[in-house]
Amino acid sequence: MHTLKSTLALRLLTSIIIMVPGKYNTWLSVQMGTKAVLCCPRIPPTSGLILTTWKIHLRDKPSCSMSLNRETNQSGKNNCTDGRISWASRPDQNLELQIHPVSISHEGDYRCEMGATDGNFEHTYHLQVLVSPEVTLSLEKNRTVECKAIAGRPAAQIFWAPEGDCVTGKEYQDNGTVTTRSRCHYPDCNVSTVTCLVSHPTGNRSQSIDLFAGRLTFCKAMGLDILLASIFCLILCLLNLSSFFLLDIGLFFIFFPHVQYFY
């Protein structure tokens, strides 16, 4: 009874893995720099495989193909010149195609065609190459922050918490990557820490920054403009009276190393 059950389970599993003649399509996303291995359809052992051909169609390039004749175990025509695309191992043993390392130029369609005595099997992979963007977050003058997701593919999306007064844009690079850039202004004093959220298929990331970090800033509190550094200015002015002017300037830059100008 137990054996019957496991036999049935095995049959079911086998029937899922092994395909029937026909065409199959898969969308596949792989990260740049990694190794991608694409499989041909798993045909039933009784199918009498004759010829297997990988047809590769990359964007802006002539298509190329490589094939294996199972009856002679001889590789046939192979006019794919990109050395990073090859059989994963000895084609007489394994018909998988390998791309290593994957680059943006490998985006395109890869089709394994198998001609067998009981019909044709075809599996096409639509390969999309992902590039993880580099994320930076910087504080500029006047409570403005800039978040960048540099050279990602596809373009990253940027969200903010809390929402500010933002302008977001994209720059398309020649190599197919996109830089997303978002600048936000936070005029109100009630916002001290802001977080930039970068959403991307290679993984979401976030970075936070303190708007008050060691800088002279104006902000709006309850409708009034407050100069936060005014207290420090007052101290400096008082110290100036005591003629230690140069020392004071030095002290000022120790306390506010990023100050670029005075209000």
Ligand X SMILES: *[C@@H]1O[C@H](CO)[C@@H](O)[C@H](O)[C@H]1NC(C)=O
Residues 35-64 that bind ligand X (CB under 6 A): 62-64
Helix, strand and coil percent figures for the chain, each rounded to 5: 15, 45, 35
CA separation for the pair 156, 149 (Å, rounded): 6
**Dihedral over alpha carbons 131, 111, 20, 3 (to 10 degrees):** -50
Q: Residue 99 interacts with ligand X (CB under 6 A)?
A: no
Which CB sits closer to ligand X, 159 or 232?
Answer: 159
Site string for ligand X, 120-139 (x = CB under 6 A): -----------x--------
Which CB sits closer to ligand X, 62 or 257?
Answer: 62
Q: Quote the tokens at residue 80.
A: 């794919």
What single-letter amino acid sits at 90? Answer: R
- Select the residue interacting with ligand X from 34, 173, 192, 240 (CB under 6 A): 173
Q: Which of 113, 77, 78 is nearest to 95 (CA)?
A: 113
Cis before residue 101, ω within 30 degrees of 0?
Answer: yes
Q: Residue 108 interacts with ligand X (CB under 6 A)?
A: no
Which CB sits closer to ligand X, 64 or 236?
Answer: 64
CA separation for the pair 131, 150 (Å, rounded): 10
Q: Residue 168 interacts with ligand X (CB under 6 A)?
A: no
Binding region for ligand X (CB under 6 A) out of 36-44, 112-120, 172-180, 227-235: 172-180
Interface contacts to ligand X, rule CB under 6 A: 62-64, 73, 79, 81, 92-93, 104, 131, 142, 151, 162, 173, 175, 177, 185, 187-188, 190-191, 199, 204
